[in-house]
Structure formats: C-alpha cells, structure tokens
Amino acid sequence: MTMLMLSLIRALAVLIPWLVHLATWLVARSLNMPQPIVHATSMFVFAQVCAVEMRVGKGLWRQLQSLMR
C-alpha cells in the first residue's frame, strides 16, 4: 500500500508541472502571445486574486467575530 501511494505521489509530481506547461502553451497559442508573457501574467493575476481573497476573508472574519460578541 505504501509503495502504491509513493508511486502515485511521484506520478503527480511529474504530471502537474507538465500540465501547467501545457495549459500555458495552449493559452499562449490561442492568444498569439509568447509563452513567458502568459506565464508571468498568470502569476501576477494569481497573486492579485490571493490578495483580494485575503482582504475579503479578513473582513468577513471580523464581521463574524463582532456578531458572536
């Protein structure tokens, strides 16, 4: 059982970067843009979305705490 789990984890560790590369390549090709620009833009958008989600989450958490008092 342990060997099966290790082999699955190794397969995922190889597969995930390959899928990210494929998705970036497909988006870059569909937008007719260089792949590094698409990759950098996607990382920037990801960081911005995470920042917004954290701000919204903190605001909702404060409201929930104030309702519990």
- What confidence tens digit (pLDDT) does each residue in 32-68 have? 999 999 988 888 998 999 999 999 999 889 888 888 8
Tell me what pLDDT residue 39 has: 86
Alpha carbon dihedral 28, 31, 36, 39, in 10-degree steps, equals -80
**pTM of model > 0.85:** no
pLDDT band at 15 (very low <50, low <70, confident <90, very high): very high
**Cα–Cα–Cα angle for 19, 11, 28, nearest 5°?**
10
